Amino acid sequence: MSFEALESEHRGESEHRDEGAPPPGELRFVSPDEAVRLHGALDAARLLVVSIQGLGPGARGRLGEAIDEAIEQSLRDRGGAPPGIGAMSDRDAALSDQLYRVRKVGRVGLALDLGPLGGLVDACGALDPEDAAAIKFLSESTRDRPVVLMLDHRNADVRAYSAPEPLAKVLGVRAKAPPAAKPPAQAPTPTPTPVSGERPVIKRTPPPMRVVDNGPPPAPRMYVSVEPAAEEPASFTSLNDAVDRLQEITRTSPLSALERAFVEGYVPIRAALLDERLGGAGIGRAEARALCTQFASTFARAYAEALPTFGVTGRHPRMIFELFDLAQRCARVHGARSTHIVLVDALRFDLAKRLRDRLARDLSRQAVCVEEHALWSVLPTTTSVQLDALVRGEDALRAPARPERETAIVRGRSLDVLRRMRLGHRDVVKLDLLEGRLRDPGAGERTRLDGLADELAPILGRYIRTSTARAMVVIAGDHGFAFGDADETRDERAATPPAKQGGGSPDEVFVPFQAWLVGGVH
């Protein structure tokens, strides 16, 4: 049944339809107004309408998981049964199981409204290959299953990667097939002469063995490492977009919008302030500082109000205690043979970007950063609280641990030593150098951040360089830091005091997740 027929039936203009017959699926790009109107028509047609809105950079590469979580939540709200035993074997089996449970709750099909996907695209305006594959699977399912897929009309121009093609076809050359090897000649088997009085032995020749050629085994992904060019100043267009991103934020904005505003607005503007690249961007230093200060205050207030609800509802952004699960998923996707987690104490998001640029230059043709995400720290943003969350997982939200007094950092040469640490039943490698350096005052913020990145890069680069081939080394922070309060306007060129930790500002909450794949680099 088409969308037009659904709307006509919803208005009572169509003939009676057999309620037991599930409607065929359909795919369409719709406007927000059309989506609202079609929700009522689809619900009247007894389809389970699932809306997935507010997808931001934190869901990049996880669109399929976000869709599954939304469907399962809708089924739970209607008293549906949990997934079957074999439901998670592949996408096709999972969708079949979900449609079966949809019918059990009195619905005949599934309607998915994905909303705008602009928050999932990369710098080239393209979706992650996994996200594109998830949308393609759903679009193909609409042909023979009662699945209706609605995409925002603004997604029509979003780019998506297609299936990989043979290298010879990509390069435009014709590869010569190797000559077929001739089978070795076999000598005829002599027929034994039967002895008189004995029954001759009849040998039956078995049929030839059938060899099924499934092609070569799938090879792990290969990445191209390019020597990064000298850092170029940010364009005025990108800075204006960053300003618009922060100006859109209100006190009622969802947390996904706050994360996107931090990554795409707050961080670029703060970097432009530090590097003095605001000239000609249409905004002065004072206005840019005030805008960042306002966003930091709004974020701290909104996060403090929302955090207590995470443990009750079970719905939350990508938190620090999901570090191990995210690392395992990343290793599976990129074909890594082993996983190592390096926890850098007090590594905040913007400092990690400077660190990534230096590691990319030092590790060219040896390792490549295959994924980068932002994680949310638990309040208060201290080391002891984050380590407790890494051990207890989501239970740390339901029963927060009492903040302990921060342990003293041993000063001296031992700060630059990577030490192994046991967190529950998992092992991590921890570096306390940054935490020790931040307890003292220093130079201006830009000079100090560059110096810290220059000091961290050789230590972490040596660890990545000496790891085994196809190893996944994950560099993550436990919490961030700030050189002042959220509502404090300070000149970035002035000397910095000892760093502040434990608050709810975006600089203290957002920490990086960087996955570096060793080897397999061209």
pLDDT at res. 254: 85
The arithmetic mean of pLDDT across residues 37-54, rounded, is: 88
Least confident of 21-25, 128-132, 351-355, 492-496: 21-25
153 pLDDT above the threshold of 60: yes
Token reading at 384: 């002891």
**pTM score, whole prediction:** 0.59
214 pLDDT above the threshold of 50: no
pLDDT at res. 193: 53
Q: What's the pLDDT band for 216 if we cut at 50, 70, 90?
A: very low
Which of 336, 365, 328, 364 is closest to 513 using CA atoms? 328
Percentage of the chain with pLDDT > 70? Answer: 75
Q: What's the pLDDT band for 423 if we cut at 50, 70, 90?
A: very high
**Which residues, including other chains, have CB under 8 Å from residue 2's CB and lie 6 or more apart?**
26
Query: What DSSP element (H or E) covers 376?
Result: strand 367-376
Nearest-angstrom CA–CA distance, 314 and 398: 9
CB 502 within 8 A of CB 342: no
Token reading at 266: 């707050």
Q: Count CB-CB contacts under 10 A for residue 8.
A: 15
**In this structure, what DSSP letter does residue 334 have?**
T
157 pLDDT above the threshold of 50: yes
Which of 453, 511, 441 is closest to 481 using CA atoms? 511
Round the average pLDDT of the chain to a whole number and report it.
81
Select the more confidently predicted residue: 71 or 193: 71
30 pLDDT above the threshold of 60: yes
Token reading at 366: 């040896």
Query: What DSSP element (H or E) covers 340?
Result: strand 338-344
Select the more confidently predicted residue: 302 or 21: 302
The arithmetic mean of pLDDT across residues 318-342, rounded, is: 92
Nearest-angstrom CA–CA distance, 118 and 32: 14
**In this structure, what DSSP letter does residue 496 have?**
B
Tell me the domain boundaries of the chain. Answer: 3-157, 316-518
Q: What's the pLDDT band for 334 if we cut at 50, 70, 90?
A: confident
pLDDT at res. 128: 85
Q: What's the pLDDT band for 17 if we cut at 50, 70, 90?
A: very low
217 pLDDT above the threshold of 50: no
The β-bridge partners of 113 are 51, 150
The arithmetic mean of pLDDT across residues 401-407, rounded, is: 62
467 pLDDT above the threshold of 50: yes
Residues 252-267: b if buried by 16+ CB within 10 A, e if exposed: ebebbbbbbbbbbbbb
Signed CA dihedral, 503, 508, 513, 518: sign only: negative
Tell me the H-state helices in 399-512: 433-437, 445-465, 506-509
CB 481 within 8 A of CB 438: yes
The residue ranges of DSSP E strands in 252-356, in sequence order, are 338-344
Strand order in the sheet with 147-152: 26-30, 147-152, 109-113, 47-51
pLDDT at res. 16: 45
Q: 511 by DSSP, 3-state: which? A: strand
Q: 245 by DSSP, 3-state: which? A: helix
**Which residues, including other chains, have CB under 8 Å from residue 292's CB and lie 6 or more apart?**
246, 266, 269, 270, 273
The arithmetic mean of pLDDT across residues 114-124, rounded, is: 82
Least confident of 48-62, 198-212, 249-263: 198-212
C-alpha dist (Å) from residue 217 to 213, 220, 265, 317, 515: 11, 10, 44, 37, 25
C-alpha dist (Å) from residue 103 to 75, 78, 79: 11, 12, 12
Where is mean pLDDT largest: 65-69, 211-215, 291-295? 291-295
162 pLDDT above the threshold of 80: no
pLDDT at res. 489: 66
Name residue 174's amino acid: R
Q: What's the pLDDT band for 19 if we cut at 50, 70, 90?
A: very low
Q: Count CB-CB contacts under 10 A for residue 339.
A: 16
pLDDT at res. 468: 92
